[in-house]
Amino acid sequence: MDIALPLLIVRLVIGLGFAAHGAQKLFGWFGGYGLAGTGGFFESAGFKPGKLFAGAAGVVELLGGLLLALGLGGPIGSMLIISVMLVAILAVHLGGGFFAPNGIELPLAYAAIGFTFAFVSFGAYSLDAALGWTAVWTPALEWLFVGLGIVGALLNLAARRRPAANGAAAEGSSLP
């Protein structure tokens, strides 16, 4: 069986779903809170200024999701997905366990799918294939972009101010 159609379906479902999360943060679409509401949440999680971090996360999610859905840019969309989901897992979801409503299950699934598509061709029904770019994405470049996603996440987490127990962010503290 040709795997191009199943790859397309997974890319569309996951990529558009991920992009929708970005649109929630940026524009308040799909029941989201927009930059103001999401920025307040980011502040409470220790990311200050909250609107800046929320905007960056929203752009990364929107762009990463669209690149994956379109099958464009090889591992670049994967890098963005891995980066933002690693931050979400470590800063917000880790304490919730695996199956909890706010647990790591969904962000871990997004990160795993992003990781997978960094190394697996998008298939024949992709813009990379249509543009003849599939040969550009060598294993070295794939690993480079995955590594950049991880480093980007760690730098983002390093900029975080650990929230105090009462919900206010503790100035100048580091990640747990």
pLDDT at 145: 97
Residue 36 · residue 24 · CB < 8 Å: no
Q: Is the pLDDT of residue 67 over 80?
A: yes
Per-residue pLDDT tens for 84-100? 999 999 999 988 888 87
Query: Model-level pTM?
Result: 0.89
pLDDT at 169: 39
Domain spans in the chain, listed from the N-terminal domain onward? 4-158
CA distance 78 to 60: 10
Percent pLDDT > 90 in the chain is 83
